[in-house]
Chains A and B, each alone.
Chain A
Amino acid sequence: MAEERKSLIKIKPKRYKDGEIVKVSFMVMHPMDTGMGKDKKTKKIIPAKYINSVKFNYNGKDITTMTVWESLSVNPVFTIYMKVNGKGKLTVTYTDNTGEVHEKSKKIKPKG
């Protein structure tokens, strides 16, 4: 919990207009341990630690929610499309099976 995780929200294209459909990627540095792997040095099983759920919230409305299991890769990427609907804030929240919660937000500023 104390560990600070790096995450990033990427929007493509960088300049977009109101009403345009843009590609949004959320990346996070997370180990995604399945609970089946072993530490090579200590030979002990690494306890499971994986992302449970991801939520994309845009201007107070959940546009996409995801239920995630452990078979996603290390440092996962989630890419979806989103319709830009005026100025606002996009917030991505994820929850971990150990109770870790992380939040990242990005301002949405359509031009033109």
Chain B
Amino acid sequence: MQRRDFFKKIGSVAAVGAVIPVMSFAADAPKPVSPNKMDYKVAVDAITGGKAPVKSSKVKLKVPEIAENGAVVPVTVEVDSPMTDSDYVKAIHVLSTKNSNARCIDVNLTPANGKAYFSTRIKLGGTQEVVGLVELSNGEFLIASQSVKVTIGGCG
């Protein structure tokens, strides 16, 4: 028992010793903050203007379930829409729930596109959800989301 106590004491001392330098270092160099820090909920409200988006199967979000490298995650958003002058997809927004800036990209489409489709590659800081938010020409908002497991974070 004595031996165990000895190791416990040593362990606690070592832990305290390890924490103090880390803390002092952190105080010296503040953690860099994203230039446009924005939470997910704030970002959604900023896009929709307070309207609640409707979950829809019309929005097809294609993201890998497991992304080995968070720095390159392919995202494809496709919307089932005729893309005529009276009925078209106005905008496609790609968001992430836990990145320091939730907004990734806003794409403003026109009927000249012919097809509501957008594809790119994004960075994810950790395991989280990728959200595709779609604005229709009649003012409605559709949403689709999928969680992505990230093994190596890609931010910073």
Q: Are A83 and B112 in contact (CB under 8 A)?
A: yes
Q: How far is the CA of A21 from the CA of B115 in the complex (A)?
A: 8
Cβ of A94: which chain B residues have Cβ within 8 Å of it?
none
Cβ of B107: which chain A residues have Cβ within 8 Å of it?
64-66, 80
A42 interface hit (Cβ, 8 Å): no
- Of the listed stretches B4-12, B51-59, B97-105, B138-146, name the one at the interface; the rest are far from the partner chain: B97-105
- Contact among A21, A61, A64, A76 for B108, CB-based, below 8 A: A64
* Given known A21-B114, A80-B107, contact A69–B36 (CB-CB < 8 A): yes
Cβ of A37: which chain B residues have Cβ within 8 Å of it?
32, 155-156
- Contact among A36, A68, A85 for B34, CB-based, below 8 A: A36
Q: Are B104 and A72 in contact (CB under 8 A)?
A: yes
Size category, B interface: 35 or more
B72 interface hit (Cβ, 8 Å): yes
Q: Are B113 and A82 in contact (CB under 8 A)?
A: yes
Count A interface residues, CB 8 Å: 35
Cβ of B72: which chain A residues have Cβ within 8 Å of it?
73-74
A38 interface hit (Cβ, 8 Å): yes
A96 interface hit (Cβ, 8 Å): no
Q: Are B34 and A35 in contact (CB under 8 A)?
A: yes
Q: How far is the CA of A79 from the CA of B115 in the complex (A)?
A: 12
Q: A76-B120, A79-B120 are in contact. List 10 more A-B contacts (CB 8 A).
A: A34-B123, A69-B36, A69-B101, A70-B36, A72-B104, A78-B120, A79-B119, A80-B113, A81-B113, A82-B114
Would you give 15 A-B contacts (Cβ < 8 Å), ordered by A?
A34-B156, A36-B32, A36-B34, A38-B32, A38-B156, A65-B107, A66-B108, A68-B105, A71-B103, A73-B121, A77-B120, A79-B117, A79-B119, A82-B113, A83-B114
